[in-house]
A and B are shown apart, each in its own frame.
Chain A
């Protein structure tokens, strides 16, 4: 159910969570979004706006500045995110950061912590994290990322299976695609489809029929072979969720407005 700032929410005894506020015993929405009961809280999931970081989110960022002991990353969040030299698998000496990452490089990092002053701590130490090489990056609205992943990863698996592309999904709406030019083109087209039209019911069918209609054929008439990696040290596709993921609701494809998944 779509709610707007200032609209009263029937909380049914749930406590006010993100996207809500309480005044005089009543709970109201503070942002435009989908009402989502998440006992013991009730929250509003944003449908728009910048990416707001949460601990453990895997995101894709661009290096915008290099300092003596850290790099500054743009992750399309309200603030830049500093990546400290100790937060990488490399043995970086003070003043040597430039040798490992320079301005314009793209990286996959994980949000570690957020402090009260709004500072976003990120790390590149971990499975599936690292520098990105080759391919391209497409940016979509962060609110659409759950639809790119799909229920239990179903959508992302459909995309990679039909294209042979490698895909790294950042919770901040940045998505890296690696593979052949055809694969990159088809995945980009699907991502734009999800970004522009993802709320309309029947998304899964539309994506599948596009991918099938644009399948490149080879002499054997079988599915196109998996392309060689465009680079050698590509990280495995991160961002694949497990069933315990606590993210935004994964809308079903009913004709009504999407319902939050009552897990």
Chain B
């Protein structure tokens, strides 16, 4: 019998708030952070919160990550991280520094800025802030990076290698990927409308979301509160196109199916799906197809909280996992803002959201360029009364 993986801490920062409390208030009040998608704090303000000297060069991805990791560790009551692992997902890494100092770096005698460029260096910087971790690594599968960090972290626990793993993802907005998504012509200037007939693309966002994963035995021995249980996960490759999703949603279907299979659950056991739901024509249709294939005519309530936070790319799996934990704890289904008109080939999301519901099992989807599709199955540690 493999070790159970539980969640004992969660931290979040995005356009709808710094920390879980503010995020929860925004979700319930249906207060969106779009179309801007920026975290309201400047680099300097983040450094002040974190007690980092203002003149120090730190990638914004690292700063956002530190804020979320700090909150997660505090909730879990973990002071020393020397025996824990830190797994972060990012693709942007230190690109904000690279693009700002590009010419200076290449031609102006400041090659040292390149030290901050890599994904790995941005995660190392987060780890260093907490005095170091026993193992540090970075997943980089574009928009499913954080979900894959959580999967790798869960495997570190399940294999008996670690008792405590902090996993999630962090990504700041950069000109680089804003222009990149713009060149693909999938950005909407209006607030995104996942699954709506008029949807015309995504809004980029930024932020970080991390959870403290723990072996069940370790968490119980410490006597700490369990926020949720990671009962299943699935990672599959759509293997269709470098950026487009397949019309049959094969990768998404396989990812969700694997997560259910691992948890030993049936489709009917799922009470909510936090969709990848970017708001692009292609993703929402492909994801809807995958859900219809798996759930038949009984697709559970679905919403895309990217209608609040924007698409936080590599961080999205972490941010949306924390949102799922909040939804389970406070018994609500977040709204799918901006949805008005059904779209042919798309599921009908929970436009208004719901309150006073009990969520036993939820799926959290993260899909990416390259067809790197992952789904996490998170379960409530309380039983329905």
Tell whether A pairs with B. no
